[in-house]
Chains A and B, each alone.
Chain A
Amino acid sequence: MITAERKPLEELIDYVKPFKRILLLGCNECVTVCAAGGRKEVGLLASGLQMALLKSGSNIEIKQHTLERQCDPEYVEELVPMIDGSEAILSMACGCGVQQLATRFKDKPVFPALNTQFMGASERQGVWAERCQGCGDCVLGITGGICPIARCAKQLMNGPCGGSTGGKCEVSEDVDCVWQLIWDRLKSLGQEDRYVDIMPAKDWRSGGGSGPRKIIREDLAE
């Protein structure tokens, strides 16, 4: 999923304080799962903003709504009947959702309430960790299902650097050395021979090196 964290309240107050009526918009997908921008967080933020603004002597009307998916134009269309009542939108979606709104509602200021972080997986309750950088040319089949692009600080492709100590990365003792994980995994699978194969310099074009990426499925595109 795409993970995110809410921006500091002070930053959000700066965004919305010029307005009297805003739409605070959550998203029911990834940011709900990572507890950053779902219906519950919309309610909490609305209360927080209203209290903070009241304290400073200003008042704001906050309409709350949560879309099924902010990154999908089909769902964004739902907002058309309610959008005129708001001067601006504060989006609790990831950056994709924010931009979808800005594209659809050209005359409305749209502000992000979240800092979008990474594509990650849940490690345990309340903990998400980066797992994929969308490099467009997946190497997991070679590396035992563990990604050196997303999980090695140096994105090394042919084993660990000199900073790998006791299975931990030099960046932090809380970070596993991904090449230790890959080595252990390949050994347990009896695939150590894969480790010795030299992986050539990566072609970064598929990873965004040639600019913003787009997928066009001719069989689906209208």
Chain B
Amino acid sequence: MNFQKKLAANDFVLLAEMHTPKGINISRLVNDARRIKGRVDAVVVPDMDNGIMRMSALAGCVLMKQDGLETIMHMYCRDRNRMALQGDALAAHVLGCHNIIVANSADMSQSDHSDAKPIDDLDETQLITTLKSLEKGKDMSGFELDGSPDFTIGCTIPGFADADSADKELATARKKIDAGASFVITPSVFDIEDSSDFLGKASELGVPIISTVFLIKSLAIAQYIKNSEPEANISEDLIRRIRKSSDREQEGIQIAGETIAALKDRTQGVLIQTLGWEHKIPEILDAAGL
């Protein structure tokens, strides 16, 4: 059953994020993807996530597809205007990439090309509206398309600082759902109990909620997230667990696996995010018992 059908059937979906290379060496991407073929429902391919210039998500998705993996392509508005976005969406459909996440993008000032001119011609809600318009056979200017695409479109909820911000982000997600998003990717979940309030509220959005599970690669990263993103709710217990471990790398994998297992009954899916450690995804799946 493909991703779209699983969502519709309320089945649990398992997604893994894989970044394209900064360059043309695709061997790592292809090898990592092959190792999880059949173990995840789809590979999520970010575009220039975190503002890092790299090979486009569309090319990454096509590579995955050639290897028989279903893909979900990131699209966002920082780097392309409405014409380029529509053109890429049509190209994606033709190339067999029918699943799209309209994602938040890091500000250009945070990118590795901070002197570039940000585009931001559309915002994310408008992009979703545009994709839905393409599905109905019209471009943004109202011109008829010669053949219309169809997509499964999701949106993201970025990290938030407090309950008030969470409500604001949920209200924004509501707008994106009204515009046409049919699933939502949440920020990283580190503490299941602490996240339960938010996940409960998110479930009221009425579309499948897919939680992000982020691989903590080291004690330093755990401490960095705890200090710089207090909303991420990395507990002292978690920090202590990693610190005391004789194999911190393995401990991070174990924690990610346990988190996935615990989320299985609470959300409709999980997105595994490893930011460069995609080769560890099979071990995370092992730890999750999947």
- Tell me if A211 and B107 are in contact (CB < 8 A): yes
Among B82-119, those with CB < 8 Å from A are 107-109, 114-118
Q: Does A40 sit at the interface, judged by CB under 8 A?
A: no
- B109, closest chain A residue (CB): A210
The smallest C-beta distance from B78 to any residue of chain A, in angstroms, reads 11
Total number of residue pairs linking A and B with CB closer than 8 Å:
26
Complex interface: chain A residues within 8 A of B107 (CB): 210-211
- B108, closest chain A residue (CB): A209
- Tell me if B115 and A211 are in contact (CB < 8 A): no
What 1/0 flags go to A28-46 for Cβ under 8 Å of B? Answer: 0000000000000000000
**Distance, CA A203 to CA B116, complexed state (A):** 6
Complex interface: chain B residues within 8 A of A210 (CB): 107-109, 114
- B116, closest chain A residue (CB): A204
**Distance, CA A24 to CA B239, complexed state (A):** 60
- Tell me if B115 and A203 are in contact (CB < 8 A): yes
The smallest C-beta distance from B105 to any residue of chain A, in angstroms, reads 14
- B113, closest chain A residue (CB): A201
Q: Does A205 sit at the interface, judged by CB under 8 A?
A: yes
Among A173-210, those with CB < 8 Å from B are 201-205, 207, 209-210
- A205, closest chain B residue (CB): B115
The smallest C-beta distance from B115 to any residue of chain A, in angstroms, reads 4
Complex interface: chain A residues within 8 A of B108 (CB): 204, 209-210
The smallest C-beta distance from A158 to any residue of chain B, in angstroms, reads 16
The smallest C-beta distance from B84 to any residue of chain A, in angstroms, reads 15
**Distance, CA A211 to CA B117, complexed state (A):** 11
Complex interface: chain B residues within 8 A of A203 (CB): 115
Complex interface: chain B residues within 8 A of A211 (CB): 107, 109
- B117, closest chain A residue (CB): A204
Complex interface: chain B residues within 8 A of A202 (CB): 115, 117
**Distance, CA A112 to CA B118, complexed state (A):** 27
Complex interface: chain A residues within 8 A of B117 (CB): 202, 204, 207, 209
**Distance, CA A205 to CA B114, complexed state (A):** 7
- A155, closest chain B residue (CB): B117
Complex interface: chain A residues within 8 A of B116 (CB): 204, 209
**Distance, CA A201 to CA B116, complexed state (A):** 8
**Distance, CA A211 to CA B114, complexed state (A):** 11
**Distance, CA A210 to CA B114, complexed state (A):** 8
The smallest C-beta distance from A105 to any residue of chain B, in angstroms, reads 25
The smallest C-beta distance from B48 to any residue of chain A, in angstroms, reads 15
What 1/0 flags go to B49-60 for Cβ under 8 Å of A? Answer: 000000000000
- A200, closest chain B residue (CB): B115
Complex interface: chain A residues within 8 A of B115 (CB): 201-205, 209
**Distance, CA A27 to CA B108, complexed state (A):** 36
13 A-B residue pairs with Cβ-Cβ distance under 8 Å, sorted by A, are A201-B115, A202-B117, A203-B115, A204-B108, A204-B117, A204-B118, A205-B109, A205-B115, A209-B108, A209-B115, A209-B117, A210-B109, A211-B109
Known: A201-B115, A202-B117, A210-B109. 5 other contacts (CB 8 A): A204-B117, A205-B114, A209-B116, A210-B107, A210-B114
Interface pairs A-B: 10 shortest CB-CB: A210-B109, A203-B115, A204-B117, A205-B115, A209-B118, A209-B117, A209-B108, A204-B115, A205-B114, A204-B116
